[in-house]
Amino acid sequence: MQMTEEGLALIREWEGFRARAYRDAVGVWTIGFGHTSMAGAPEVSPGLEISRGEAEKILTRDVETFARGVASAVTTTLSGNEFSALVSFAYNVGLGNFRSSSVLKAVNAGDRAAVPRRLQLWVKAGGRTLPGLVKRRAAEAALFLKTDDATVRAPVETPAGKPAHRSTTVWAAVSLALLAGLDQVARALGYGFLGLAFLALICAGAVWIIRERRRKLTEDGV
């Protein structure tokens, strides 16, 4: 797996060149093509200035570091475009975040169709959505889907969940509605004990539905 020229161009485009050190969207000192001290030398500090030629050399070293990190985390074979898109993503969010991301989880599970959607979960910095990150994730997704003959595979939409008639959550909601109706009937007929029993079942069902929804959101992750 090797980084492609198109992948390098993507990083250059979205990082942009800055000759003087600056703070990025989350306050980290950055220079050149998105280089930070976390990536290695040179250490970025206020007032540091470099030429474009120096920035290119730093970018080459940094990309090699991130490429090794991505290659060590991926457990499946990737095309050059797929690999380059992941390196660009890792270069932007950091190798630690990449290793714990659902993007890598989808790749290693062979669920390539899910990768574009998972990439779009990483569009925030400092707690707010940045239009530039939305566009960058879209560019990385397009590169990931691009085949060797320069065509782009259409992303396959994965089902949002089970069919309604097979969803336990849906059946739980229907059951709750029936219990609520029975509760009202019991109360109208003066069966207070039955009403309390139905109410307890309704509360238990509601708690179960909430837990299921939270579990599914956690599994999707970022």
What is the set of active-site residues?
Answer: 15
The string of DSSP letters for 137-203 reads: HHHHHHHHHB-TTS-BPPPPPPPSSS-GGG-HHHHHHHHHHHHHHHHHHHHHTT-HHHHHHHHHHHH
Distance of CA 47 to the CA centre of its chain: 34
User: Using an 8 Å Cβ cutoff, are 186 and 194 in contact?
Assistant: yes
User: Using an 8 Å Cβ cutoff, are 187 and 161 in contact?
Assistant: no
**Distance from C-alpha of 47 to C-alpha of 154, rounded to nearest angstrom:** 46
The string of DSSP letters for 78-136 reads: --HHHHHHHHHHHHHH-HHHHHHSHHHHHHHTT-GGGHHHHHTT--EETTEE-HHHHHH
**Distance from C-alpha of 32 to C-alpha of 56, rounded to nearest angstrom:** 8
Starting from the edge strand earliest in sequence, which strands make up the sheet with 29-32, in order? Answer: 18-23, 29-32, 35-36
